[in-house]
Structure 1
Amino acid sequence: MNRFMGLAALLSVVLSANLAHAQTGKPGVEKLYILNCGEGVAGDISRWSPGVNEGQSMDFVDNCYLIKHAQGWFLWDTGIPDAVAAMPNGLPSPDPKGVSWKRPKTLAAQLDQLGVKPSDIKTMAVSHTHPDHIGNVEMFPDAMLYVQKAEYEWPGANNEPRFKPSHPVTKLEGDRDVFGDGSLIILSTPGHTPGHQSLLVKLPKTGAIVLSGDAAHFKSNWDNRRVPSINFSKDETLASMQKISDTLAKDNAQLWINHDRAQRDSLKMSPEFYD
């Protein structure tokens, strides 16, 4: 009889442990897709690295990231406007040192290829409000937009608002665990703009990745902690680079630099994905 009681007790312990694991082992992020949201040429990259690379041109890319979470689809950045895809000569830069953009693939077409409708995306965020990151925000008029309060309230050209007032928004004042399970965390990383933010993504197989937005524009700027002259605050930029560096170390994370073509070309693009 004691033997049977011992077996029952053992089974009870095993079942309790399995139940506890089922309750706490949330699926979290399931897949991450890298979408082509623009390709361009920078006229003079000393604009982003003062005193270095004078007169040197460089290919830039512009990525968006579609993330499948157990609680729904999440979009990070929206890239160059899809309308640019129909422009034979692309979108020239008003500044000869800046980036002239083309849109080889529309965001809409890439979502369609994955069987995702714009209305399927319920939550989204942008790293910041420069035009190459918010070009298609209104393709998702009902999606909750996560943006830092400082960025949202930063006056645009002619004091125009940076988003349609009708767009649902959550104004952040610091970091935010988007789904409450630690798998997708918005990091406040101001400096490039007043409310610039980055994204920590924790994938079950690939591990942790930091999508750094424009905290740095290419790897040599990151490695040398160079701050573009156009940035809103040099001190905040350097502090944010350190915060990202600390996050990389703490979470053993990869750093994905949004505009870095060499790195982008080494990664899997949609419809392939990271899980």
Structure 2
Amino acid sequence: MASSPGVRVHPLMTARMKAMPAFYERPGGPKPLAMARGLGLHVPRSRWFWLPIPAFLLEHPEAGPVLVDTGLHEQVATDKSAALGRLGGLAFTIDMKPEWAVPHQLRARGVDPADVETIVMTHLHYDHASGLSHFPRATVHVDAREHADASAGRLMDGYMPRLLRTPGQRWETFSHDEEVVDLLGDGTIRLLRTPGHTSGHRSVALRLASGGDLLLTGDAAYNLPTIERSLTPLMTWKDDAFRASLARVQAWTAEHPGAPVIPGHDPETWATLAEVYA
């Protein structure tokens, strides 16, 4: 009997952004006061730290190239305000080169960006969705609640609705109530319901070509200490939902000892990643 298929996973860093010192762990106290303290507006940017802004290329033996998130658009490297709006241009400190954008990295791996027909979005914050317009022929898969919130969202909430309007692009939403979505029906790409960072956030559990497993937490866990120490980050949609989803991520890691876990924005983990997981 033929073995079940698996994917090859290529981590792609599309840019770096600076984050305030309290980004991973919110200060104590009531949430509004803790948020105000944690935003770091009084802290010089020299004391902020760099976060990787990732996307992931999955090579599936039958479905071809699949992207998980799209990172920042190439235009961010040359005209940040045009890409992210005047407010975004002023608010965000970003380090990016044009060749870091996903299309360039795909070509370097022998993949034509025009061949990308499937994109999975963990969620639709601008740092994950900015590059969507690079792939006008693709079908984008996302939680229905996430799509609804992003379509009506504001930059203050992390959303830019215009990023969802690429001509020719198709959107496929799935029910927010589905705990696990088996994207291709073969168990290789499973989208786990992990709301909390946003209302419709999904983490992505993958079966590798070797038969092993790998978890892309998305922003259900910014870094490994979030998982190890149950940290509550500075910004959440709802704290209770975030903690429940973090417990699900922690359960997955306990059930898959030794399996790679790639958090959403962890420079220390990023420095140790393999070029490809197979």
**Which whole-Å CA distance do the structure 1 matches of 2:234 and 2:274 have between them?**
32
* 1:37 aligned residue: 14
Contact 1:152/1:162 (8 A) holds in 2 = no
What are structure 1's unaligned runs of at least 5 residues? 1-20
Equivalent in 46, 51, 60 of residue 69 of structure 1: 60
24, 27, 30: which is aligned to 1:51?
A: 27
User: Per-residue displacement from partner, 1:226-260 (whole Å, max 9, x unpaired)?
Assistant: 22342111111011111112222233332111210
Unmatched segments (≥5 aa) in structure 2: 29-37
Structure 2-normalised TM-score?
Answer: 0.79
Q: Could you say if the C-alpha distance between residues 233 and 78 of structure 1 is closer, same or farther in structure 2, counting changes exceeding 3 Å?
A: same
1:85 aligns with 2:73: no
Q: Deviations over 1:137-158 (max 9, x none)?
A: 1211221211000100012129
Taking a change above 3 Å as real, the CA distance of residues 160 and 86 of structure 1, as seen in their structure-2 partners, is closer
Q: Is the contact between residue 6 and residue 210 of structure 2 (CA under 8 Å) also seen in structure 1?
A: no
Give the whole-Å Cα distance in 2 for the aligned partners of 1:27 and 1:160: 36
Q: How many residues align?
A: 247
* 1:223 aligned partner: 228
Secondary structure of residue in 2 paired with 1:39? strand
Measured in 2, the distance between the counterparts of 1:179 and 1:100 equals 37
The alignment status of 1:164 with 2:165, answered yes or no, reads yes
Check conservation: 1:191, 1:235, Cα contact below 8 A.
Answer: yes
Give 1:45 deviation, angstroms.
Answer: 2.6
Q: Would you say the 8 A contact 2:5–2:188 is kept in 1?
A: no
Query: After the TM superposition, which residues 55-134 of structure 1 pair with which residues of structure 2 at under 5 Å, given as runs?
Result: 57-71=48-62, 72-87=64-79, 100-104=93-97, 105-134=100-129
Q: Which amino acid aligns with 1:259?
A: H
Q: Which amino acid aligns with 1:249?
A: A
Q: Which residue of 1 aligns with 2:189?
A: 184
Matched residue, 2:252: 247
Give, in whole Å, the separation in 1 of the partners of 2:86 and 2:52.
15
Distance change in 2, residues 1:99/1:249 (3 Å): farther
Moved over 4 A (4+): 52-56, 87-95, 158-162
TM-aligned CA distance change 1:161 to 1:244, over 3 Å: same
Instruction: Say whether the 8 Å CA contact 1:185–1:201 is kept in structure 2.
Output: yes
Distance 1:85 1:249, change over 3 A: same
Q: 1:64 is matched by which residue type in structure 2?
A: A
Change (3 A) 1:188 1:88: closer
Alignment root-mean-square deviation, CA: 2.9
Indicate which of 214, 236, 239 corresponds to 2:241: 236
Which residue is equivalent to 2:5?
27
Pair member with larger Rg: 1
One-letter amino acid of the counterpart of residue 156, structure 1: G
CA distance in 2, matches of 1:181, 1:40: 36
